[in-house]
Amino acid sequence: MRNSMWPRRLFRREERSGPYRPCGHTHFWDRAASRRDVLKTIAGGAALGLAAGPWKPAALLAGSGTVAPKPIPAGIEFEGELFHVFPPAPGVEIATIADFVGTIGATAMQGTGVGVDHDGQSMALNFGADMRFMQGHYIGVDGKPHQATFGFI
Amino acid sequence: MYTGSVELFGETQIHDFNPGISETEVFWTMPIPDRNLQVSLLQATARMQLEHVDVQDDLTLADSLRNYINGITSDPAVVSFDVQWNMPKKGERIRNEELGYDGFFFTSEEPESVHIAWSGINQATGFTFTSDPAETSFNVFAVLGFERNGVIFKLDAPKPE
């Protein structure tokens, strides 16, 4: 059973050769040069101890020395933009970082809980959660091997 | 969070807590301390716990993706969670040449394979959410395993003739 939270229509696929073909969207190559420049800048920043820069939020990374990883090349498309992620479902890549080797975990969860507005009014709510982790070694944007633990929240 | 059924891009979603997308385009992924994750592939179990993690609230998934595309700042938020995998000890080796990854994976669609308890607060609006106890949550699909991808996957790939 496919995770019902993620519709298959989102998946980037090539019609002729089956599902989930790892290809970029229409403007991918137009953007490639600038993206390389960005990565180059980030790699330079990492060398200067500024590796926390590329991340949101920076709080956990600050001082951790974690070098930014690269995204998986494929993913889903939304309004013409490629997002480097697949839903947790059979037969697709679970990791979100590229050039990675290590342990992974993922789950698509659902449940219930209580929300409270700023005025104190509470309401019963449902939730869906896509939670993952990746722990191991990866080639960072600096082209060097690193070890780290990542959470997908 | 949803006022109704949980559906991607569903009309009843009112909050979407996530860490955002990095400038290197890594999706909703953030480094966490090693000590906050315990994994045993022999037991097919794992536990990830974090408290007071700075994230953002985009209200809906569509808003989250559009905010990234348009460079719009999201509401600051904080979440805490405890998620535990207890997977059936039956795994399989998978090799996907098309996406460029392989590994050994335990997979499960059993509701009891994973449980989560979590809470979150939108620091801009003051909205808070607290999940019911973990045992009331249920898994839809889960994976636990060991994998490699990208250039590491290609290390022993067959060479073209």
Rounded to the nearest integer, the mean pLDDT of chain B is 94
Chain A interface mutation, best of B2, B56, B83, highest count of A Cβ atoms under 10 Å: B83
Q: Residue B108 phi/psi, 5° resolution? A: -155, 140
pLDDT in tens, B78-136: 999 999 999 999 899 999 999 999 999 999 999 999 999 999 999 999 999 999 999 99
Average pLDDT over residues B140-153: 96
**Mean pLDDT of the A95-109 span:** 97
Could you tell me the residue ranges of all domains in chain A?
A: 8-152
Residues 14-33 of A with CB under 8 A from B: 18, 20-22
Sign of the Cα pseudo-torsion (A80, B154, B32, B7, in order): positive
Q: How many CB atoms lie within 10 A of CB B24?
A: 21
Please report the beta strands in B65-161, taking only residues with DSSP state E, as ranges in sequence order: 75-86, 91-96, 101-108, 114-122, 128-131, 138-149
User: Rounded to 5 degrees, what are φ and ψ at B62?
Assistant: -60, -40
Residues found in chain B: 161
User: Terminus-to-terminus CA distance in chain B, angstroms?
Assistant: 52
| Chain B residues inside the 8 Å CB shell of A132 | 29
Does A79 sit within 8 Å of B69, measured CB to CB?
Answer: yes
Distance CA A125, CA B153 (A): 42
Which pLDDT score is estimated for A55? 40
A13 touches chain B (CB under 8 A): no
What pLDDT was estimated at residue B9? 83
The answer to whether residue A3 scores a pLDDT higher than 60 is no
- Checking if the pLDDT of A99 tops 50, the result is yes
Sign of the C-alpha dihedral, residues B41, B45, B50, B54?
positive
Q: Is B125 on the interface with A (CB under 8 A)?
A: yes
Assess B131–A contact: CB distance below 8 Å, yes or no.
yes
CA distance B19 to B64: 10
pLDDT greater than 90 at residue A11: no
Average pLDDT taken over every residue of chain A? 70
How many residue pairs from chains A and B have C-beta atoms closer than 8 A?
A: 301
Question: CB distance from A140 to chain B under 8 Å?
Answer: no
Q: What is the pLDDT of residues A71-94, one digit of tens each?
A: 999 999 999 999 999 988 888 899
Residues paired with residue A140 on neighbouring β-strands, in sequence order = A69
Confidence class for position A56, pLDDT limits 50, 70, 90: very low
Q: Which residue has the higher pLDDT, A119 or A33?
A: A119
